[in-house]
Amino acid sequence: MVAKTMDQLVALCKRRGFIFQNADIYGGLQGVYDYGPLGVELKNNLKNAWWRSMVYERDDIEGLDAAILTNRKVLQYSGHEDTFSDPMTDCKKCKGRFRADHIKDGKCPNCGSTELTEPRPFNLMFKTAIGPVDDGSVFGYLRPETAQAIFTQFRNVVDSTSRKLPFGIAQIGKSFRNEITPRNFIFRVREFEQAELEYFVMPGEDEKWHEYWKEARIKWWEEQGLKRDNMNIYTTPKDDLAHYAKACYDIEYQFPHGMEELEGIANRTDYDLGNHTKAQEEMNLTSHCHPNPDSTQKLCIMDDNNKWVVPFVIEPSMGVDRGVLAVMTEAYEEEDLGEGNTRVVLKLKKHLAPIKVAVIPLKKNNEAIMNKCHEIKQNLLKLGIGRVALENTGNIGKAYRRHDEIGTPLCITVDFETIENQPESVTIRDRDTMEQHRVNVADLPAYLREYFL
């Protein structure tokens, strides 16, 4: 059951320290959020799962971490300066500004007025002065997608790794879009993270790889806990395609506010490499490219017949923040425990859980118990399973409730039996079943290694 409201998730995120409104104390900055102590762990775990599946588990993908500040020319020749815009309309009555394609029944979402201006394009890129002159003459952009640096670094990566087609370059990082109407919590924001793969293939093999990546990415999302029934594959109609795409699938997810895009998987053809290439007329391009007198490189690769070819690109592009929202939505449950008791539990996949194990003393002021807790925590850290937290609230019921809500898979309780009896043993409590059983302290490393790794 995914019957959760956005309000429930927002409240949990604030209450337990996952996500906060940015600049809260000054009334906030619209469309900008900060990840708190648990949010940063969850987001890192999701990014690590992506990186692991893309870069570590495969032999055909390299990583990259490029700059956010972007030379204006990159975004001129990529087509973003001319076309990366949304239609904007103004309400003549309340002066509100909205995305024209989000307006229903021709009425202002603020005041209901039907007096709206004709839609006009609004470019979503953040311009920024670069260097000590700030008179508007010298500027660059904050990147609106991480992809462009993968294209502009294509030759450097190929030359330094001796790659042959097909191969990919993966990157995770911040992107910025001056969204007209940021909304739905971290779903549509102005500063966000993307995890993007540009997978380079021989022209003619692009459609096959497009299908391949669609299936691979659905499977990956299932491994992050999303049920297939809560996902939908939307094929973008030709008229709605981004300026660079020949075809695109969206993996949509049933967010609390509706079925919406989680990840796009586009066939970008040879559009980007072609546009950033000098002497295009020599390159046998299929895309319509603008002549590029500024580029100093041909972004191509040698094929098996020793001929230069500009590859086609398949691009799975996920929004990390939307991913965090999706896995939280899926995991959130309110369980009826009977006799008027309920509990909130976040049934996250264990590799995503912000805290893997909580070590809880039955009594916080007992020195022997506390020492044993510290010792157990230090030993568990060595396993490399992720964050192990030492709880020190002294209230075991509260500690269990908190760890249920933040998705900690296991709680280990150190009690008097632990320190008084031999062999030493602790209680392990499972988040989902709430069942508890005793395990010898000496067996904990093997138990947890088996459970987490």
Can you tell me the distance from the alpha carbon of 26 to that of 262, in angstroms, rounded to the nearest whole number? 31
Residue number, 28 or 106, with CB nearest to ligand GAP: 28
- # residues contacting ligand GAP (CB under 6 A): 19
Provide, rounded to whole angstroms, the least separation between the CB of residue 195 and ligand GAP. 9
Q: Does 196 bind ligand GAP (CB under 6 A)?
A: yes
Q: According to CB under 6 A, which residues from 306 to 325 bind ligand GAP?
A: 315, 317-319, 321-322
Can you tell me the distance from the alpha carbon of 281 to that of 293, in angstroms, rounded to the nearest whole number? 12
Q: Does 86 bind ligand GAP (CB under 6 A)?
A: no
Q: According to CB under 6 A, which residues from 107 to 166 bind ligand GAP?
A: 145, 147
Provide, rounded to whole angstroms, the least separation between the CB of residue 428 and ligand GAP. 37
Among 50, 154, 192, 271, binds ligand GAP (CB under 6 A): 192
Residue number, 145 or 404, with CB nearest to ligand GAP: 145
CB 271 within 8 A of CB 292: no
Among 53, 70, 171, 194, binds ligand GAP (CB under 6 A): 194
Among 262, 328, 345, 353, binds ligand GAP (CB under 6 A): 262
Measured in whole angstroms, how far is the alpha carbon of residue 53 from the centre of its chain? 14
Side-by-side strand order, sheet with 97-99? 97-99, 85-90, 120-123
Q: Does 272 bind ligand GAP (CB under 6 A)?
A: no
Q: Does 39 bind ligand GAP (CB under 6 A)?
A: no
Residue number, 316 or 407, with CB nearest to ligand GAP: 316
Cα distances (Å, whole numbers) of residue 431 to 29, 122, 216, 225, 400: 36, 48, 30, 16, 8
Residue number, 192 or 199, with CB nearest to ligand GAP: 192
Q: Does 168 bind ligand GAP (CB under 6 A)?
A: no
Torsion from C-alpha of 432, 437, 440, 445, nearest 10 degrees: -10
Q: Does 246 bind ligand GAP (CB under 6 A)?
A: no
Residue 3 φ then ψ, to 5° = -90, 75
CB 244 within 8 A of CB 272: yes
Among 43, 47, 80, 177, binds ligand GAP (CB under 6 A): 177
Q: Does 270 bind ligand GAP (CB under 6 A)?
A: no
Provide, rounded to whole angstroms, the least separation between the CB of residue 380 and ligand GAP. 35
Provide, rounded to whole angstroms, the least separation between the CB of residue 88 and ligand GAP. 15
The three-state DSSP-derived secondary structure of 148-193 is HHHHHCHHHHHHHHCCCCCEEEEEEEEEECCCCCCECCCCECCEEE
Residue number, 236 or 366, with CB nearest to ligand GAP: 236
DSSP codes joined into one string, 349-418: -TTT-S-SEEEEESSTT-HHHHHHHHHHHHHHHTTT-S-EEE---S-HHHHHHHHHHHT-SEEEEE-HHH
Can you tell me the distance from the alpha carbon of 192 to that of 19, in angstroms, rounded to the nearest whole number? 13
Q: Does 351 bind ligand GAP (CB under 6 A)?
A: no
Residue number, 149 or 360, with CB nearest to ligand GAP: 149
Can you tell me the distance from the alpha carbon of 77 to that of 296, in angstroms, rounded to the nearest whole number? 13
Can you tell me the distance from the alpha carbon of 402 to that of 436, in angstroms, rounded to the nearest whole number? 17
Determine whether 250 is exposed, middle or buried from the number of CB atoms within 10 Å of its CB (0-12, 13-18, 19+). middle
Q: Does 189 bind ligand GAP (CB under 6 A)?
A: yes
Q: Does 261 bind ligand GAP (CB under 6 A)?
A: yes
Q: Does 345 bind ligand GAP (CB under 6 A)?
A: no
Provide, rounded to whole angstroms, the least separation between the CB of residue 371 and ligand GAP. 46
Residue number, 325 or 414, with CB nearest to ligand GAP: 325
Cα distances (Å, whole numbers) of residue 355 to 105, 257, 349, 450: 46, 28, 12, 17
Residue number, 150 or 399, with CB nearest to ligand GAP: 150
Q: Does 210 bind ligand GAP (CB under 6 A)?
A: no
Question: Nearest Cα to 330, choosing from 256, 250, 419?
Answer: 256
The residues binding ligand GAP (CB under 6 A) are 145, 147, 177, 179, 188-189, 192, 194, 196, 261-264, 315, 317-319, 321-322
